[in-house]
Amino acid sequence: TQLLEQSPQFLSIQEGENLTVYCNSSSVFSSLQWYRQEPGEGPVLLVTVVTGGEVKKLKRLTFQFGDARKDSSLHITAAQPGDTGLYLCAGAWGSNYKLTFGKGTLLTVNP
């Protein structure tokens, strides 16, 4: 079983601050996805990265995939209360279809 670690587990910040969330594995990902989950809802896909060194931007969110494809980060600039939620990374290894989810980072952005 592949393990995927996310950090930090909890993050509480003030509106306007920046933050970074990390996702790591000891094995090389074939692909990695970031999801956001709001209370009472299922996760919603934010981005998929497949190429080492890849950087993707989604408004104030910047996603990076490590050169070695073993780690990824999610950076939020000028966080807003609407960014509050559980951020999950999910990885696939080799030709496996199966996604393994991390435990998530619970982000709270206070007004």
Closest CA to 101 of 89, 86, 92, 109: 89
Which region, judged by CB under 8 A, interacts with other proteins, from 11-19, 41-49, 51-59, 69-77?
41-49
Question: Which H or E element spans position 75?
Answer: strand 71-76
CA distance 38 to 9: 16
Nearer of residues 83 and 104 to other proteins, judged by Cβ: 104
55-58 vs 61-65, strand pairing mode: antiparallel
Give min distance, CB of 58 to other proteins, in A.
14
Is residue 66 at the binding interface for other proteins, with CB under 8 A as the rule? no
CA distance 65 to 73: 7
Is residue 48 at the binding interface for other proteins, with CB under 8 A as the rule? yes
Nearer of residues 62 and 100 to other proteins, judged by Cβ: 100
Residues at the contact surface with other proteins, assessed by CB under 8 A: 30-31, 33, 40-45, 48, 50, 88, 90-93, 95-99, 101-104
